[in-house]
Amino acid sequence: MEINYNIISIIDIFGCLQGIILGSLLLYTNRKENKSTLFLGLFVLTYAYSFIPIILEDMNLISQMPQLEVLPRPGEWLLASLFFVYIQKISIFSNRKIAYWCLYPGLLALLFQVVVFFLPLSTKMQWVNSNWYSPFFLVALIYSTGILLYMWRFIQEHSKEVVNQYTLVEHKELRWVKRFVFFGFVLFLLHFIRYFTEDSMGYRILYASYNVFMLYWASIHGILQRNIVSAIPEEKSMAPTKIQNLRSNPIDSIPISELKKLVKQIDAYVEGSKVFEDKNLTIMGLADALKLHPRKISNAINQVYHENFNAYINRYRVGRAEQMLIDKNSANLSIEGIGTEVGFNSKSAFYNAFKKETGVTPKTYKTTIPN
């Protein structure tokens, strides 16, 4: 029987080769400097491997090599879990215990599939034709969907903590991960549909192309993504006196009246020192200057102003920018230059924060407010 070359197999071959190259690159990066890329590399390689059974089937190679029947398919069980472990390792919560438990069902399922694969052909075909075979992978999809939901919640918590610790949050909020997880839900939905409908050529081309896109997206962003280190150190690395003060006065139990006094102290320092002009300011830097625990500062700002640390500092930056936009002494500075002067790291961050605070863009503000 001749090998069947078609558009679907070509797309899948491209995706497989792309995944092998990018996955190997990520593992090489892990060997050199960034250990968190180990699990992303394993994720990409597992994703690349998931194309192989489809390629063999589409090209009629299984009929020529029947020993490849029932090739193990770890993707449905392991892909979401591998990606979740990677996200935990690059997140601001990387100092927590990593949830490796999410890998165990997939590893057990893979071991079981390997055992079945090496059974005699007639025996394993009986397994394939039995009633449990399709539900086995359907359960895998349900399990992985649960991991995606758990991952979504984890990323939400990560984003919330980032803006409570940093004033420069670009590339720290893992927005690409949130988008990837969303499109992961779409991919799993397509996979579910495949179990209950007949395949059409259009659907299979869409599914193959979507997989290649997802694989490429995760790989490229993973190569560019750096670990996000918490600005607040673990208690064991803090001075004993700080730990003692924290334990003797639990942060969550501080009365609102005390928090208001604390906020006045924070306001006075921020206004007087203009520390908000530091692009790389973190809550830890402010805490060191004020000799306070960073969690205490964060809690005070959250409770009194009902905003996070990032929004709090940006409010001062925008206020200073408003002054400079109408100040004749700053006429030689461009709008972007003013944003840089007051502490914003990029034009987009400046414009977004300014419009959120004032309701207009800096350019509109400058042209409409009389000097």
Domain boundaries, the chain: 7-224, 235-368
Mean pLDDT on 166-193: 89
- The C-alpha atoms of residue 88 and residue 174 are separated, in whole angstroms, by 11
The DSSP call for residue 232 is: S
Q: Which of 14-28, 65-79, 121-135 shows the lowest per-residue confidence on average (mean pLDDT)?
A: 121-135
Mean pLDDT on 42-63: 88
Helices (H) and strands (E) in the chain, counts: 17, 0
**Structure confidence at residue 245 (pLDDT):** 46
pTM of the entire predicted model: 0.86
Report CA torsion sign: 209, 214, 220, 221: positive
199-203, long-range: CB within 8 Å, 24+ apart, which pairs? 201/8
The phi and psi torsions of 329 (rounded to 5 degrees) equal: -70, -15
- The C-alpha atoms of residue 38 and residue 294 are separated, in whole angstroms, by 32
Detail the DSSP E strand segments found in the chain: none
Residue with tokens 């597992």: 46
- The C-alpha atoms of residue 181 and residue 368 are separated, in whole angstroms, by 42
Evaluate if residue 355 carries a pLDDT over 60.
Answer: yes
Is the separation of the CB atoms in 166 and 341 below 8 Å?
A: no
Mean pLDDT on 305-323: 95
Rounded to 5°, the CA angle 300-301-302 comes to 90
- The C-alpha atoms of residue 233 and residue 284 are separated, in whole angstroms, by 9
Evaluate if residue 40 carries a pLDDT over 70.
Answer: yes
**Structure confidence at residue 236 (pLDDT):** 46
> 2 or 311: whose pLDDT is higher?
311
Q: Which of 68, 203, 292, 48 is nearest to 59 (CA)?
A: 68
Evaluate if residue 209 carries a pLDDT over 60.
Answer: yes
Radius of gyration of the chain (CA): 27
- The C-alpha atoms of residue 47 and residue 75 are separated, in whole angstroms, by 6
User: Exposed e or buried b for every residue in 176-191, given b needs 16+ CB within 10 A?
Assistant: bbbebbeebeebbeeb
**Structure confidence at residue 241 (pLDDT):** 43
**Structure confidence at residue 370 (pLDDT):** 60
Tokens found for residue 252: 């969550």
**Structure confidence at residue 5 (pLDDT):** 64
Q: Which of 163-177, 213-227, 236-250 shows the lowest per-residue confidence on average (mean pLDDT)?
A: 236-250
Q: What is the pLDDT of residues 103-116, one digit of tens each?
A: 999 999 999 999 98
Mean pLDDT on 190-197: 75
Q: Which CATH architecture has domain 235-368?
A: Orthogonal Bundle (1.10)
For residue 199, count other CB atoms closer than 10 A to its CB.
Answer: 10
Confidence of residue 90 (pLDDT cuts 50, 70, 90): very high
Mean pLDDT on 179-199: 82
For residue 26, count other CB atoms closer than 10 A to its CB.
Answer: 26
Is the separation of the CB atoms in 321 and 345 below 8 Å?
A: no
Tokens found for residue 253: 């139990």
Is the separation of the CB atoms in 72 and 137 below 8 Å?
A: no
- The C-alpha atoms of residue 5 and residue 355 are separated, in whole angstroms, by 54
Evaluate if residue 251 carries a pLDDT over 80.
Answer: no
Mean pLDDT on 239-258: 57
For residue 196, give every residue at least 6 positions away whose Cβ sits within 8 Å of its Cβ, in sequence order, or none: none
